[in-house]
Amino acid sequence: MMEGNALRTMIGLCTVILVTAAMRAADAVFAPIAVALFVIALVRPVQRGVQAKAGAGVAALATMVLALVMVGVLAVLSAWAFGRVGQWTIVNAATLQALYGQKLTLLQDAGVPAEALAGLFDMRFLVRLAQQVTAQLQGVLSFTTVTLVFVILGLLEVDVARRQLEALRASPGAAALLRAASRTGQKLRGYMAVRTAMSIITGLAVWAFARAMGLELAEEWGIIAFVLNYIPFIGPLVATVFPTAFAALQFGTWQVALTVFATLQVIQFLLGSYIEPRLAGRRLAVSPFLVLVAVFLGFFVWGIIGAFIGVPVLIAILCILEEFEESRWAARLLSGRDADLPLLPPGEGSRRAEAAGSRSG
């Protein structure tokens, strides 16, 4: 018996490794599909509500427009903010180079050996960095276009897929997948509602602080903080480090840079580690360790898109594991819940989701 369990465990691990490798090798296909499914889960209540009043055609069109606006706004804001920072860096490259040289001179005068740092920052480095940022932005826009195509096709077939699963309710697997899909959509919408609200507040707070400090590109730093806040851990860190580095070069004093860094860290901590968990509640909570693993594993597999979609994929996996008796122990282990907090029985989450949808409708 133990040998059989060990064999199944090894087969499962090998399957996970092979699937991960396949998703990384075919990221151009799997990444847009994953993001498209995520977007469909977010806009599905709109499609269902409009369809009940105006028909399937109008509902599909309205939902497609909403999905286009959601994805397009984030893509355009990201391209504008990062593009502006890249352009500003190139235009002011000579000034930044001179400021960097002054800092090295001050370090050397203070007896700090800084010769090794002299070649780390030059105009050629800035130009290469700006070119890389431009190439990444072009890739994001192309990815957004492909994702929207998958979203449109998925919205046209989501009702057909639901009816097919409902027709197989006699099959325990099909019924469990239908319940898991309902619970996943409910949790993802709650997750994104809280994270969007926190991202907006974070962006406004960063913009207000940068403007009060007189930091260049205050609006851009606010938008970057808003966009990157959707990526746990990595996003807030990048949104803090970059303005700090620019503040050090712009103002020329480490005291100002330290003030910028400390203040941005306080903003990120209060909003991301104190307020957001209380708004999300225990129902959306997962293990912080698993969240970090999901972000870094997603980044390893699909880059920045994977870091963004990693936590939603983790939420979907937990919902699926909770619906099968054989895997409920894994869902409990990965959820980060205390032992005295029971998991929902199979079907309870979907019934609550349907009740909430009927009340909102």
Are 191 and 144 members of one domain? no
Is residue 234 situated within a structural domain?
Answer: yes
How far is it, in rounded angstroms, from Cα 288 to Cα 334? 10
Could you tell me if 143 and 278 lie in one domain?
no
Percentage of the chain modeled with pLDDT above 70? 77
Is residue 20 within 8 A of residue 301, CB to CB? The reply is yes
Same domain, residue pair 326 and 291: yes
Is the Cβ–Cβ distance between 301 and 314 less than 8 Å?
Answer: no
Say if residue 261 is in the same domain as residue 344. Answer: yes
Q: Which pLDDT tens digit goes with each residue over 18-71?
A: 888 888 888 888 889 999 999 999 888 888 888 888 887 788 788 888 888 887
Task: Tell me what the mean pLDDT of segment 255-278 comes to.
Answer: 84
User: Over the chain, what is the mean pLDDT?
Assistant: 78
Q: Show the tokens assigned to 234.
A: 């990595």
Write the pLDDT tens digit of every residue in 227-250.
Answer: 888 888 888 888 888 888 888 777
DSSP codes, 282-330: GGG---HHHHHHHHHHHHHHHTHHHHHHHHHHHHHHHHHHHTSGGGHHH
Which residues have CB under 8 Å from 340's CB, separation 6+?
none
Domain membership flag for residue 5 = no
pLDDT score, position 124: 65
Q: Quick one: pLDDT band at residue 205, thresholds 50, 70, 90? A: very high
Confidence at residue 209, expressed as pLDDT on a 0 to 100 scale: 93
pLDDT for 87 equals 76
Q: Give pLDDT, residue 354.
A: 45
Task: Please report which confidence band the pLDDT of residue 201 belongs to, taking 50, 70 and 90 as the band edges.
Answer: very high
Mean pLDDT computed over 211-222: 90
The verdict on 305 and 274 lying in the same domain is yes
Domain boundary among the residues 144, 167, 190 is at 167
Collapsing DSSP to helix, strand or coil, 1 comes out as coil
**Domain check: are 91 and 201 in the same one?**
no
Over residues 293-341, the pLDDT tens digits come to 888 898 888 888 888 898 899 888 888 888 887 777 777 777 666 555 5
Does residue 107 lie within any of the structural domains?
yes
Q: Indicate the residue among 150, 167, 184 that finishes a domain.
A: 167
> Is 108 inside any structural domain?
yes
Same structural domain, 156 and 245: no
Go through the chain and tell me how many residues it has: 361
In a shared domain, residues 162 and 177: no
pLDDT at 127: 63
Residue 145 host element (H or E): helix 123-167
Q: For the segment 157-169, what is each residue's pLDDT rounded down to a tens digit?
A: 888 888 887 777 6
Decide which of 141, 167, 193 is a domain's last residue.
167
Do residues 229 and 235 touch, judged by C-beta distance below 8 A?
yes
CA distance 334 to 326: 14
DSSP assignment of 170-222 equals TSHHHHHHHHHHHHHHHHHHHHHHHHHHHHHHHHHHHHHHHHHHT-TTHHHHH
Is pLDDT above 60 for 178? Answer: yes
Q: Are residues 176 and 289 in the same domain?
A: yes
- Let me know whether 305 and 219 are in one domain: yes
Q: Tell me whether residue 23 is in a domain.
A: no
With the C-alpha atoms ordered 52, 55, 60, 62, is the resulting torsion angle positive or negative?
negative
Using only C-alpha atoms, the chain has a radius of gyration, in whole angstroms, of 24
If we measure between CA atoms, which residue out of 229, 245, 168, 148 comes closest to residue 196?
A: 229
- Whether 192 and 340 map to the same domain: the answer is yes
Average pLDDT, integer, range 102-124: 61
Range of the domain at 57: 31-167
Q: Is 249 a domain residue?
A: yes
Helix (H, G, I), strand (E, B) or coil at 20: helix
> Which residues are CB-contacts of 205 (< 8 A; sequence separation ≥ 6)?
225, 267, 271
In a domain, 2, yes or no: no
Concatenated DSSP letters of 227-275: HHTTSTTHHHHHHHHHHHHHHHHHH--HHHHHHHHHHHHHHHHIIIIII
Least confident span in 103-107, 141-145, 278-282, 342-346: 342-346
Q: Give the model's pLDDT for residue 350.
A: 44
218 and 306 in a common domain: yes
The answer to the question of residue 195 being in a domain is: yes
Count up the domains in the chain and report the number: 2
Instruction: For residue 124, give Cα distances in angstroms to 4, 94, 132, 228, 243.
Output: 59, 11, 12, 27, 21
